[in-house]
Amino acid sequence: MIQARFFEVLQNAEEGGRLSFDDLLFLLSSTRKEELEALFAAADRVRQRFVGDEIHLRGIVEFSNMCIQNCWYCGLRRDNRQLFRYQMGLTEIVEAAKMVKSRGLKTLVLQSGEDPWFTRERISGLIREIKGSTGLTITLSVGERPDGDYEEWKNAGADRYLLKQETASPTLFHHLRPGRKLEDRLNSLRVLKKLGYEVGSGNMVGLPGQNVEDLARDVQLFLEYDYDMIGIGPFIPHPQTPLAGSPPGDLTRTLKVMAITRIVTRNTNLPATTAAGVLDPNGRRRALQAGANVIMPDMTPWTYRQHYQIYPGKVDERLGEGKITELISSLGRRVSPGAGYRLSSTDS
């Protein structure tokens, strides 16, 4: 049975009304099956109305698992001595980009740990060479860097930048990312937006110490910063981190955050994350039915893929291209022929 208030808040949100913090808490706190079904259905309707039935595919190449940061939740953390470390050569990265192009994808995501070997100049050179040889839309996901790096890479031809806020709680952010501050990360996101990037961010759901108020603040930050893409995934503990013994995030709660984000942001691009597929074989399907419209196939060469272990189980989530197409077709949706830029309100 759906509570009257739940119906009223959800209907107001779907019609474009602004939700208060208490409204967000109320939706996030619901555990009734009928209410969850109504929330996911509303998110799917908003998705269809504002971004349509196309699924954007973005090929990701994880070119280095070296990292100078020591985040408590990440298997790439600096103090993880059990991880086999690698850096792809510049020529290898360009060849991987050409492979992404040959598979018919229009967007390349270059992702790594925060690896200082890949300097401003080296990444600029990569961007120019990949742009010149493939014409791909290029997304960078290489962590926090000096503002001058962002500017140089935009001038070199980078189109998008992914930088997750992870959590809206300054205390939790500082605890899980020793020596780092949430405000510095948000400042980087503001700079990226000002420089003209399409900006992606997002959060993890189920972090140790996180509460429902933190999740409501995450959604408020998504709205405030008007991100073009928002990745919302469950926390999955890695056995070689300080959070090894923590429970994983709950997929249903993760999908609730994603569905609410779809409803309130309208036309933002939302990926069905790999982490959702790790927790549940049907995780990506469930995400696509609750507001998601992006899938990011892993195009990292197999030699390296098994060693990019942000969380365990990632390499086993082998939703290959054929399976991706099959999944998309089974939902009555289709692969986008374009690069998947965020639609403007006038396009919706």
pLDDT of residue 321: 65
CATH number at 179 reads 3.20.20.70
Percent of the chain scored above 70 by pLDDT? Answer: 97
Does any domain span residue 31? no
Stated pTM of the model = 0.96
**Comparing 75-89, 143-157, 207-221, 313-327, which segment has the lowest mean pLDDT?**
313-327
pLDDT of residue 43: 98
Per-residue pLDDT averaged across 164-177, rounded? 97
Is the pLDDT at 70 greater than 80? The verdict is yes
Does any domain span residue 259? yes
Query: With bands split at pLDDT 50, 70 and 90, how would you rate the model's confidence at 36?
Result: very high
Residue 317: other Cβ atoms inside 10 A: 17
Is the pLDDT at 133 greater than 50? The verdict is yes
Is the pLDDT at 103 greater than 60? The verdict is yes
Residues 6+ apart with CB under 8 A from 152: 120, 124
Is the pLDDT at 252 greater than 70? The verdict is yes
Is the pLDDT at 317 greater than 60? The verdict is no
Does any domain span residue 286? yes
Q: Range of 214's domain?
A: 54-335
Query: With bands split at pLDDT 50, 70 and 90, how would you rate the model's confidence at 322?
Result: confident
Is the pLDDT at 41 greater than 60? The verdict is yes
For residues 46 and 300, give the distance between their C-alpha atoms in angstroms, rounded to a whole number: 33
Percent of the chain scored above 90 by pLDDT? Answer: 95
pLDDT of residue 348: 40
Half-sphere exposure for 137 (CA within 13 Å, toward CB)? 18
Q: CA of 13: how far to CAs of 9, 24, 122, 266, in Å?
A: 6, 10, 45, 10
Helix (H/G/I), strand (E/B), else coil: 316: helix
Does any domain span residue 9? no
Per-residue pLDDT averaged across 255-270, rounded? 98
Per-residue pLDDT averaged across 288-311, rounded? 96
pLDDT of residue 215: 98
Does any domain span residue 13? no
Return mean pLDDT, the chain.
95
Does any domain span residue 118? yes
Structure tokens at 297: 């196939």
Per-residue pLDDT averaged across 14-28, rounded? 97
Is the pLDDT at 91 greater than 80? The verdict is yes
pLDDT of residue 320: 62
Is the pLDDT at 346 greater than 60? The verdict is no
Per-residue pLDDT averaged across 57-76, rounded? 98
For residues 80 and 82, give the distance between their C-alpha atoms in angstroms, rounded to a whole number: 6
Does any domain span residue 158? yes
Query: With bands split at pLDDT 50, 70 and 90, how would you rate the model's confidence at 323?
Result: confident
For residue 268, the one-letter residue type is: T
Q: Count of domains in the chain?
A: 1
Residue located via tokens 């602004």: 18
Per the CB < 8 A criterion, the answer to whether 209 and 172 are in contact is: yes
pLDDT, tens only, 159-170: 999 999 999 999
Does any domain span residue 35? no
The secondary structure of 69-89 as a DSSP string is ---TT-TT-TT-TTSPP-B--
Per-residue pLDDT averaged across 171-189, rounded? 97
